[in-house]
Amino acid sequence: MRTAVVWDREGVSSETGDFLVLWREWVVPEGVRGVGLPQLVEDRADPLRKRYLDWVGEFGRQRISGKSLIEHLEIRPGLSAWWMSLLVEKSLLKSPQMTQAIKLFAFEECLQGEGIRRVVAHTDDAELAECLRRFCKRASMEFEWRNSGQQAAVKTSLVRSVVRAFAYLAHYVLNRWPFRARRTPWKPGGIFFLDYLLNVGPDAEGKVRFASHYWTLLVDKLRAAGCVTNWLHLSFLSSAIPTFRKAGDLIAGFNRDGPATETHNALDQFLGFGVLAGTIRDYLKICFRTIRLPGLAKCHVPTGSAVDLAPLMGRDWTDSTCGKTAMWNMLSLNLFEEVLRDLPSQKCGVYLQENMGWERAFAYCWRKSGQGKLIGFPHTFVRFWDLRYFSGPAEMSSLPRQLQPDVLATTGPWNRTNLLEGGYGEQDLAEVEALRYLFLQEPRPPQVAAERRTLLVCGDILPSANHILLSWLEQVLGRMDRDFHVVVKSHPALRMDLSAYPGIRGELSDRPVRELASGADHVLTSNVTSAAVDACGATVRIIQVLDGTTLNFSPLRGVAGVHFVRSAEELLQALEEDAVGAPVAAAAAFYLDPELPRWKALLEI
């Protein structure tokens, strides 16, 4: 009986069977028949991405009791809670198990023609094991699970989800209720911006003026032109804004110290008893409708496949219909309805587009209130595996126009190409300057020759990505004759601790990546962080570590001149080479004119 061994652990299994499937490692040892699944996913990226997107589209259009799921979840005429679900959002940060789902599709493909009748899975991931068990049952194969930690699957309890949803609402209201009484009246005929309340504070004169790393020079251009602007902020706690009282004080300072043409409010300032009553009513409506739906199990099995994704994706469905996500989506809908009832007619609206569930609610309310043109702004990279920006034909054709912006503001050729591949048409896109990356057009300081080569290591927001990055580097530095001056730049939200890696003798720096890269020979990053983009334009060799536990989420995937390494051995080879880095041409990626002519044309400034 031909056996496939699935090895979901670090390193390579000594048990190979007739066919070895390495779930995390890229390369199968020489002489062993098998496949490194991360490499197969990379090689088959386009069809595998399409399979996943097609499944999401099929899910929403699945007919149960004479109606599609989209219709069952309709919460307003023309607005279905389906379009606000985690399944449609497709965020790898919120739904990391999507990686396993895509690998399962690749696993199904790699077994074709191998005559496998038995699968032995070495994994401590109980959800993955259950998916493999169901796959084997559907494909008439024997299955054996060998786990070391006896890890239990995360059970999705309906009662637990409902309790968590109401606990979340109570916590939200208790923290933000005092915020609601501090509104400032909106101004008519302006440009409306939906923004995150981040990166703000007093200036050198002690006054509180609004500034943002999302909008950068555009704020000054709007002020200089005397444009009326209305800003609605989504507030989140951070080291700079530790309490919602502080958030309220900041917004009051924007209105007090800023120009008379600007008005600032926060979404939470529109909380009220009517909003809460509507939120609970809508939440219970969705919850009761989905509890009674029969035959949901078939939705998790893609057409023509033996893969059953329910153990991986089922909790996203439950959370989106009865859990915390469902409660937040209904709360955001009712809050935006309250905002748009209060907002006078605006010339146009601009929002930071990441295709989150609440964005659909905002677009719906904007249209319903009869406002002007709506512009979605993908403010950073549109990456190949950032599935939030991609839809299959079934999903794209089902999505109502009123839940989408009139136009997407695309920041350069890279994003434009990716958005067109994602199903958007030329008529949907408008060119604008990349506000977050305008610094890339500034002259770089000349690189000073040094006795030792400098290696800049840029950290990630994910602890697991940092561990792989630093553990590989520690292995490599101990084997090299060449001496590197190592500079470590942590992600702003997660400071790296080098004490756990005594083999790395480096200095920690808080200087911007763009400055540090100018003095470096190599820049080493994970394949997730956008810090590598900040190094574009410098004469530096960019090396990115590919993590086999996730997808190649690099913003520089497919860009010539960027070096990807799949193991510590490949990292060693990359650092020992004397190749001089070729600058990645920032102008080929972004529109970078600091006068912002494209933004001025789009906003009619």
Helix 463-477 crosses helix 568-576 at what angle (to 10 degrees)?
Answer: 60
Phi/psi-derived region of residue 220, left when phi > 0, alpha when psi is between -120 and 50, beta in every other case: alpha
Phi/psi-derived region of residue 536, left when phi > 0, alpha when psi is between -120 and 50, beta in every other case: beta
Q: What is the CATH number of domain 453-587?
A: 3.40.50.2000
Residue 306 confidence (pLDDT): 95
For the chain, give the mean pLDDT.
89
Decide if pLDDT at 201 tops 70. Answer: no
Phi/psi-derived region of residue 255, left when phi > 0, alpha when psi is between -120 and 50, beta in every other case: alpha
Residue 470 confidence (pLDDT): 92
Least confident window among 224-238, 432-446, 498-512, 552-566: 432-446
Token pair in block for residue 526: 């994970």
Residue 579 confidence (pLDDT): 60
Higher per-residue confidence, 1 vs 145: 145
Phi/psi-derived region of residue 113, left when phi > 0, alpha when psi is between -120 and 50, beta in every other case: left
Cβ neighbors of 487 (< 8 A, separation 6 or more) are 454, 455, 456, 457, 506, 507, 509, 516, 520
Residue 513 confidence (pLDDT): 86
558 pLDDT tier (thresholds 50, 70, 90): confident
484-489/142-146 β-pairing: unpaired
- Which pLDDT tens digit goes with each residue over 169-195? 999 999 888 877 678 999 999 999 999
Average pLDDT over residues 306-334: 96
- Which pLDDT tens digit goes with each residue over 462-476? 888 889 999 999 999
Helix 310-322 crosses helix 324-342 at what angle (to 10 degrees)?
Answer: 40
Residue 447 confidence (pLDDT): 55
Residue 314 confidence (pLDDT): 93
Decide if pLDDT at 534 tops 90. Answer: no
Contact (Cβ atoms closer than 8 angstroms) between residue 64 and residue 72: yes
Rounded to whole angstroms, the Cα distance separating 158 from 286 reads 13
Decide if pLDDT at 370 tops 70. Answer: yes
Distance, first Cα to last Cα, the chain: 72
Provide the residue type at 432 as one letter. V
Decide if pLDDT at 238 tops 80. Answer: no
Most confident of 11-20, 93-102, 171-180: 93-102
- Which pLDDT tens digit goes with each residue over 570-579? 999 888 886 6
Rounded to whole angstroms, the Cα distance separating 235 from 237 reads 7
Decide if pLDDT at 450 tops 60. Answer: no
Helix 45-61 crosses helix 98-111 at what angle (to 10 degrees)?
Answer: 110
Which DSSP symbol is given to 438? G
Rounded to whole angstroms, the Cα distance separating 219 from 227 reads 10
3-state percent breakdown (helix, strand, coil) of the chain, nearest 5: 45, 15, 40
- H or E element, residue 156: none
Residue 462 confidence (pLDDT): 83
Cβ neighbors of 517 (< 8 A, separation 6 or more) are 456, 523, 534, 535, 538, 540
Count other C-beta atoms under 10 Å from residue 182's C-beta.
Answer: 15
Residue 465 confidence (pLDDT): 87
The ranges assigned to domains in the chain are 3-155+290-324, 453-587
pTM above 0.85, yes or no: yes
Decide if pLDDT at 538 tops 90. Answer: no
SS3 category, 509: strand
Residue 263 confidence (pLDDT): 96
- Which residues, in sequence order, are bridge partners of residue 229? 191, 262
Q: How far is CA 592 from CA 224, 353, 557, in A?
A: 20, 20, 21
Which of 520, 528, 517 minimizes the C-alpha distance to 467? 528
